[in-house]
Amino acid sequence: MYDRNVIWSPAVKEKFTLFRSERYTPEETLDFISQFIIETEDLLKNRIIGQTYTEEFGKYKGITRVVVKRFRVYYKLINNDVVILAVLFPREN
């Protein structure tokens, strides 16, 4: 059931390392991001991914997305790999 590989693009990894929140300490922010990554990987490793949508317009046209904790996660399935191309934070266009 969980035999897919999840690959995070370098751009997404860098975006997470630069993410800061004024409302939370660096430790709380790191904990939130870690939990987000775990939940996202658990969801995308599953063969049956619910609540997906394929963008029809804009920069991510033709790319599948799923929403995890109000973050939009754009990914492509390539053979047995799920490649995460972008993550948009809430209220980010």
Overall average pLDDT of the 6-30 stretch: 90
Residue 93 lies in a domain: no
Q: Decide if 18 is inside a domain.
A: yes
Burial class (CB in 10 A: 0-12, 13-18, 19+), 84: buried
CATH label of the domain that carries residue 75: 3.30.2310.20
Number of structural domains (the chain) is 1
What would the pLDDT profile of 52-91 be if each residue is shown by its tens digit?
888 888 899 999 999 999 999 999 998 889 999 999 988 8
What is the rounded distance in angstroms from the CA atom of residue 6 to the CA atom of residue 42? 9
52, 64 contact by CB (below 8 A): yes
Instruction: Judge whether 36 and 69 are in contact, CB under 8 Å.
Output: yes
pTM metric for this prediction: 0.87
| Distances 43 to 16, 17, 31, 47, 81 between C-alpha atoms, Å | 19, 22, 18, 9, 13
Q: Is the pLDDT of residue 1 over 60?
A: no
In a domain, 26, yes or no: yes
Residue 39 inside a domain? The answer is yes
Q: Is residue 40 part of a domain?
A: yes
Does 31 fall in a domain?
A: yes
